[in-house]
Amino acid sequence: MEPPRIRITVTVNGEPYQEDVAATRSLLDFLRNDLGLTGTKEGCGEGECGACSVILDGRLVDACLIFAAEADGRRVETVEGLADGEALHPLQGAFATAGAAQCGYCTPGMLMAGKALLDRNPSPTHEEVAHGIAGNLCRCTGYGTIIQAVMEAAKES
């Protein structure tokens, strides 16, 4: 069978995109390969690590387990949408200051998890932050500085 394609309209970081995608395309591959937004990472590809976390219609999700077609008509936020031009988002600034990134592979997902949390709960406790990033694995930094950075960002914004 000729691989079926589908035309989708998706708003990514406020920009509308209209693209033809294969029905089998994951949202992650769509963002990275079709739109060139390579900030979102692929770790496990199985919903376990959170490296591919994006915000879909206000909810934090793993883009590796979603078909691009499912995002038709929806809003996606990725790490590329955080900074305002050269001005870093408070979360990004706080991560840099706290040293919350080493290799940086988990960082885009951590930032989006932090954003999803702060969007709902602007002044979380330490425990709430730990819970908010529980779906995101980091092999290097340790979670202490990451939690600290999210707490700092909450104070600033």
Partner 1 sequence: MRPFHYRAPRSLDEALALLTPQAVPLAGGTDLFLKMERRQTQADTVVDLKRIPELGRIEAADGGVRIGALALMDSLGASSLIAGQYEALTRSARVVGSIQTRNRATLGGNLANASPAADTATPLMALGASAEAADATGTRQVPVDQLFLGPGRTALRDGELLTAVLVPALPARAGSAFQRCVRTAMDIALVNCAAFVRLDGDDPDTVAEARIALGAVGPTPLRTASAENCLTGARLDERVVEEAGECAASDAQPIDDVRAGADYRREMVRVLTRRAIWKAFRRARGEA
Q: Say which DSSP state 85 is in.
A: T
Residue 1 as a binder of partner 1 (CB under 8 A): the answer is: yes
Out of 9, 15, 33, 47, point to the residue binding partner 1 (CB under 8 A): 47
Residue 60 Cβ, how far from ligand FAD at the closest point, in Å?
Answer: 13
- Report the alpha-carbon distance of residue 1 to residue 25 in Å, rounded: 16
Out of 26, 141, 145, 148, point to the residue binding ligand FES (CB under 6 A): 141
Q: Cα-flanking dihedrals φ and ψ of residue 34, to 5°?
A: -85, -40
18 to 77, contacts with ligand FES by CB under 6 A?
42-45, 47-52, 62, 64
Residue 42 as a binder of partner 1 (CB under 8 A): the answer is: no
Q: Say which DSSP state 4 is in.
A: P
- Report the alpha-carbon distance of residue 11 to residue 132 in Å, rounded: 25
- Report the alpha-carbon distance of residue 71 to residue 25 in Å, rounded: 11
Residues that bind partner 1 (CB under 8 A): 1-4, 6, 22-24, 26, 46-48, 50, 53, 59-62, 65-67, 69-70, 72, 113, 116, 131-132, 134-136
